Amino acid sequence: MTVPGSIMKIAALAGGVGAAKFITGLRRIIPEEELTIIVNTGDDFRWMGLYVCPDLDTILYTLAGIANADTGWGVSGDTFCALNRLHELGCDPWFQIGDRDLATHLYRTEHLTSGWSLSKVTRSLCVQNGIRIGILPMTDSPVPTLVHTNDGTLSFQDYFVRRKCTPAVKGFTFQGIDTAAPAPGVLESLAAADAVIVCPSNPFISIGPILGVPGIRSALRESSATVLAISPVIGGRAIKGPTASMLAQLGNEVSAAAVAALYEDFLDLFVVDREDAALVGRICSNGLRVQTAPTLMGTMAAKIELARQVVEILEREAGKQRGQTL
Ligand code: GDP
């Protein structure tokens, strides 16, 4: 199913689950060749010596149709023989990795060790999984997220998985980000895009690291493409994860308006849920155009409907711009 009218090239900035849900709908509306997804790698880490990229894998498994939708991580129907054996050997592998998932990390680590870049491994994993959508890590350099909390500075997975996001957050460091370069294809895909979509992902730990890679935020600010973001906050709540608590702990209002404020320097359009229609006037007054849509993606039909409405908004915008230049 594709939307009639002009086919547009879209680049999307993505974290994990929220983004994967939206892209699942978007690929049904836009030809896959027209999509490039730029994915957060700030939560990448080493597990038992293996290089694990949680957001890349969530996107990859989702597009390959093998994601475990119940957990939001890992491969559907996976077994845990290796993990159980590690327990028997006295290890405490607090990060859950199934056997088929493990194969991805072995494959990635083996190729990284042999000198491949992360983008080359990712491309290869896409081909092996039959994925035609371009999936790019935001950078090929490791830029691990550190979370500054009232319990001290924690590595991202220590905060997120081991401590279940309970320590109050004071800020973040993306180690090495100042000298990281966008991965090959990232700036090119932003330059070629008719529209850039910031997926409904955590603005601090999923989108924040992408925007922190030198050159990406300025490319969005200067872009002639329409830059649109979808709020990950609906009615003052996050659907999953610590977005709402982080907004509060960092001194923001817990609302879609606060997310818009974090992006306002580069954003043209912001999509809030219909439940947040009352916020539209306030957000618009920041010089940003705001649209409402049903943004809760609980079913496949809801994912497709949101993608359809977002593409329609973008096409209306493109039509207006064409009208202005005539
Ligand atoms: P993570 O790395 O898996 O935590 O993934 P993301 O950063 O992509 O996703 C977390 C964010 O996605 C949270 O802020 C959620 O509120 C948001 N999210 C998840 N599902 C939905 C949904 O159905 N609709 C909207 N609008 N946001 C969602």
Q: What is the pLDDT of residues 5-44, one digit of tens each?
A: 566 899 999 999 999 999 999 999 999 999 999 999 999 9
> Domain for residue 316, yes or no?
yes
> Domain for residue 246, yes or no?
yes
Summarize the confidence of residues 223-252 as an average pLDDT.
96
> Domain for residue 261, yes or no?
yes
Ligand 1 atom nearest 14 alpha carbon: 8
Q: Is ligand 1 within 6 A of the CB of residue 143?
A: no
Which of 22, 68, 201, 310 has most ligand 1 atoms within 8 Å of its beta carbon, as the pocket-test mutant? Answer: 201
Give the separation between CA 209 and CA 187, rounded to whole angstroms.
15
Ligand 1 atom nearest 200 alpha carbon: 27
Q: Ligand 1 mean position to 152 CA, how many Å?
A: 26
Summarize the confidence of residues 222-230 as an average pLDDT.
96
Ligand 1 atom nearest 244 alpha carbon: 14
Range of the domain at 37: 10-46+55-71+134-146+176-325
At residue 69 the predicted structure's pLDDT band, cuts being 50, 70 and 90, is confident
Summarize the confidence of residues 76-98 as an average pLDDT.
93
Domain tally, the chain: 1
> Domain for residue 244, yes or no?
yes
pLDDT tens per residue, range 307-319: 999 999 999 988 8
Q: Is ligand 1 within 6 A of the CB of residue 296?
A: yes
> Domain for residue 87, yes or no?
no
> Domain for residue 198, yes or no?
yes
pTM over cut 0.85: yes
* CATH number of the domain within which 284 lies: 3.40.50.10680
Q: Does the structure show a pLDDT above 50 at 237?
A: yes
At residue 306 the predicted structure's pLDDT band, cuts being 50, 70 and 90, is very high
pLDDT tens per residue, range 124-156: 999 999 999 999 999 999 999 999 999 999 999
> Domain for residue 308, yes or no?
yes
pLDDT at 4: 47
Percent of the chain beyond pLDDT 90? Answer: 90
> Domain for residue 16, yes or no?
yes
